Structure 1
Amino acid sequence: MAATQVIRSEWTKIRSVASTVWTLSVALVVTVALGMLISALTRREFDGMSTRERVTLDPTFISFAGMSLGQLAMIVFGVLVVSNEHSTGMIRTSLAAVPRRGSLMFGKITVATALALAVGMVTSFVAFFLGHAMLGPHRAYLGDPGVLRAVVGGGLYMTLIAVFSMGVAAMLRSPMLSLGVLMPFFFLISNILGNVSATKKIGRFLPDQAGSRIMQVVAPAVDDTPYGPWGGLGIMVLWVIAALIGGYVLVKRRDA
């Protein structure tokens, strides 16, 4: 089967599964809604902040506060796109139609990545504009230094979270096992390693912590991170590439 036919087939599969569509919708709604809420609370509490807190306030990053939960939906999306066929047994039918496993895997990931990128960009821009509407006089503007980079980076960050999850799901195949690994990794292990002084230098090189640097415009008062916004995103890309290579190797070697 030609590459264009594989991509067309995978697009049909993805859009016909309600769960994948709903997870992307949840990612957008949760990210935007929580970002608006945190932005509104920040505006309300601004007058009571110390001078140091006001100086280091990052309005752009505040509008992305919902990404911490929005990425949960992107993780679920990435896992379901890849592992659904394994859990239902439909992978055998797909392999009968596309015997070249690498073509099948990357056709699926290409379509899902394009969809995640579109949703991620829309989510990031909407979260920025609505969050800053809540911030009122404390808002930033898209033309301010570093802001456009942060907003575009927010969309890229959500996309890379989804693609990393696809790579892990390709390695593990089971949706429950994949989520059982990814959820603690992002929401427990990463936070612990990043906030404990003894492991902080390790935690900053994990994909979510490194990648989220792209969304920051105002640097923290004390910042000894050895990379900048694009360097952090580059580290996250390396994690994604490693996950995809691992998935590809195991897909090629295993039985359906």
Structure 2
Amino acid sequence: MAAGQVIRSEWTKIRSVVSTVWTLSLAVIVTLALGALISALSRHEFGDMDPRARLSFDPTSVSFAGMALGQLAMIVFGVLVVSNEYSTGMIRTSLAAVPRRGAFLAGKVAVATALALLVGMATSFAAFFLGQAMLGPLRTSLDAPGVLRAVVGGGLYMTLIAMFSMGVAAMLRSPMLSLGVLMPFFFLISNILANVSATKKIGQYLPDQAGSRIMRVLPRIGDDTPYGPWGGLGIMALWVVAALAGGYAVLRRRDA
């Protein structure tokens, strides 16, 4: 099957599965709603903050507060795109139609990544403008130093989260197992490792901890992280490459 046909086939699969459409919609809704709420609360409580907190107050980062839950939906999207065919048994039919397994996985990842990038960028810009509206006099503007980088980075971060999840799902080949690994990793283990002094130097190199730095304009007081925003996103990208390479290795060596 030609590359164009593989792309069209994967696009048809994604748009025809209701769960994948809903997860992307949920990513948008949760990110915008929670970001707007946190921004409104931050505006109300700013006067009660201590001087140290005011100095590190980052209006751009506050508007992205909803990303913490929005990425959950992106993780589910990435997992479902890859593992749905394993759970239904359709993977045998797909691999019979596209025997070149590298082309099969590349087509699936390319289509899902393009869709995640589109949704991620739209969500990031919408979250920024909505959050700034809620912040009122505390708001910043898109042309302020570092802000555009952070907003574009927010869209890239959501895209990379989805891609990393695709790689893990390709390795584990089960939606339940993949989510059972990814959810605790991102929402429990990563935060613990990054916030405990004994493991902080390890935790800061995990994909979400490194990648999320791209969305901050003002560094936190006392932050001694040895890389900058783009460096953090680069570290996250390396995790994505490793996950996808692992997924391809499993797909190539194991039967459907």
One-letter amino acid of the structure 1 residue matched with residue 94 of structure 2: S
**In the alignment, does 2:31 pair up with 1:31?**
yes
1:51 is displaced (CA, Å) by 2.0
| Corresponding residue of 1:68 | 68
| Corresponding residue of 1:241 | 241
One-letter amino acid of the structure 1 residue matched with residue 196 of structure 2: V
One-letter amino acid of the structure 2 residue matched with residue 14 of structure 1: I
Corresponding residue pairs, total: 256
User: How do 1:184-199 residues align onto structure 2 when only pairs under 5 Å count?
Assistant: 184-199=184-199
* Stretches of structure 1 lacking an aligned partner (at least 5 in a row): none
1:45 is displaced (CA, Å) by 0.6
| Corresponding residue of 2:219 | 219
1:203 is displaced (CA, Å) by 0.2
Mapped to 1, the partners of 2:147 and 2:156 lie a distance apart of 14
| Corresponding residue of 2:49 | 49
**In the alignment, does 2:124 pair up with 1:105?**
no
TM-score normalized by the length of structure 2: 0.99
User: How do 1:1-256 residues align onto structure 2 when only pairs under 5 Å count?
Assistant: 1-256=1-256
* Stretches of structure 2 lacking an aligned partner (at least 5 in a row): none
Mapped to 2, the partners of 1:93 and 1:102 lie a distance apart of 16
**Shift >2 Å, 4+ stretches:** none
Mapped to 2, the partners of 1:113 and 1:126 lie a distance apart of 19
Mapped to 1, the partners of 2:163 and 2:182 lie a distance apart of 12
Mapped to 2, the partners of 1:90 and 1:56 lie a distance apart of 51
| Alpha-carbon displacement from aligned partner over 1:138-192 (angstroms, at most 9, x marks no partner) | 0010000000000000000000000000000000000000000001110111011
Mapped to 1, the partners of 2:39 and 2:175 lie a distance apart of 34
After superposing the two structures, state which structure 1 stretch, 222-231 or 93-102, moved more.
93-102
Mapped to 2, the partners of 1:53 and 1:177 lie a distance apart of 40
Mapped to 1, the partners of 2:70 and 2:59 lie a distance apart of 18
Mapped to 2, the partners of 1:49 and 1:209 lie a distance apart of 25
Mapped to 1, the partners of 2:48 and 2:23 lie a distance apart of 38
1:106 is displaced (CA, Å) by 0.8
1:53 is displaced (CA, Å) by 1.6
TM-score normalized by the length of structure 1: 0.99
